[in-house]
Amino acid sequence: MTTYAVHTRTRASNAAAILLIGLVAVLVALPFFAGRSTIQDMFFILTMLVLAQFWNLLAGYGGLVSIGQQAFVGMGAYALFAAVILGGLDPVPSILLAGVAALIISIPTAFFAFRLQGAYFAIGTWVIAEVFRLFVAQWKTLGGGTGTSLPRSATKDMWFVDAITVLLDVKSSAARDILAYWLALALALVTIGGIYWLLRTRRGLALAAIRDNTEAAKSVGVDAGRMKWLVFLTSGFGTGLAGGLIYMQKARISPDAAFSVTDWTAYVIFIVVIGGIGTIEGPILGVLIFFALQSLLADFGSWYLMTLGGLAIVIMLIAPRGLWGLISERTGIHLFPIRRRLTGGKLDQLED
């Protein structure tokens, strides 16, 4: 008797994996041939992608629709500024502290927000984010409500900047952008890889089960409460890292900007929803569409936001699972396959 086996890979995903390796190589080498504005655009795309992947993990897999992710961006960013300005640390390792700070505040946030369900949870997270913004605005040594900048001395001597200046023969300001870009690329790759890995473990199965039916999931031994904590804390940490990195590159911070619900949650939701919620591919497609729209409509002021909103509504009506959902439904293609297919054993005889 032949034995059973489980497969997840498909021919399309094997081809995608090869393409992906090529794409990563191009992205790593990008600063060697692309101009500074391209690097800055790519930095924006990659950091938004990281935020979108973590929001997708929360809402698309964990069923936790948070509209308070700006709390973790802002807290991470302020932790980085505090570490550099008050602690005298280098900005690059301070990014890790940004993640840790966001992780720490996500514990009390989860403690309060998990008492709420559905829409109440969403509003609750927003309110908690506002509370953090108001607290930070009282922090006088970091500029209070008006904000502050990273000291020139700190940004000039940042780790790796000298090496990049020599390696690529660029000015130190351009070298800082390249450094930020490479860090964003690394963060995006680790994020996507980490989420893909999580979804392929039995915890990923548990997340899918909780998403489909929480009561039934508990009845087959899934610890739904622990999974929600795991997802929320992981997202908090990752969002904090992205927040620290974004504001290291901006080098200028204020509470209103760092805790902006529009920039760090509304845009992120747009990206995930139009791209395709509950898939890894969705946010990748979504961030590219978002960037294209932003570039096209940059000169049209408030028409820009109205177009984004209108487009989101249209896509939700014609393709509730987003553009990637539509594509994978029509073609059956999954670039990051997680479906476990049982083969071999008596299944082979059945198919004859």
Q: Which residues bind another protein (CB under 8 A)?
A: 3-6, 202, 205-206, 208-209, 211-213, 215-224, 339-342, 345-347, 350
Task: Please calculate the CA angle 75-78-83 and round it to the nearest 5 degrees.
Answer: 120
- Residue 236 has which token pair? 């908090």
Which parts of 48-181 are beta strand (E)?
Answer: 148-149
Q: Which is nearer to another protein, 4 or 303 (CB)?
A: 4
DSSP 151: -
Q: Which is nearer to another protein, 65 or 208 (CB)?
A: 208
The sign of the torsion formed by the CA atoms of 110, 270, 262, 49 equals: positive
Which amino acid, 235? S
- At 341, give phi and psi (nearest 5°): -100, 125
Q: How far is the CB of 347 from another protein (least distance, A)?
A: 6
Q: Which is nearer to another protein, 171 or 346 (CB)?
A: 346
Q: Are the CB atoms for 242 and 187 separated by under 8 Å?
A: yes
Q: How far is the CB of 221 from another protein (least distance, A)?
A: 4
- CA dist 38 and 262 (Å) reads 24
Q: How far is the CB of 278 from another protein (least distance, A)?
A: 8
Q: How far is the CB of 213 from another protein (least distance, A)?
A: 5
The residue behind tokens 């083969």 is 343
Q: How far is the CB of 57 from another protein (least distance, A)?
A: 16
Q: Which is nearer to another protein, 257 or 338 (CB)?
A: 338
Q: How far is the CB of 93 from another protein (least distance, A)?
A: 36
Query: Burial, 213: exposed, middle or buried (Cβ in 10 Å; 0-12, 13-18, 19+)?
Result: exposed
Instruction: List Cα–Cα distances, 79 to 25, 45, 95, 139, 150, in angstroms.
Output: 32, 23, 8, 12, 12
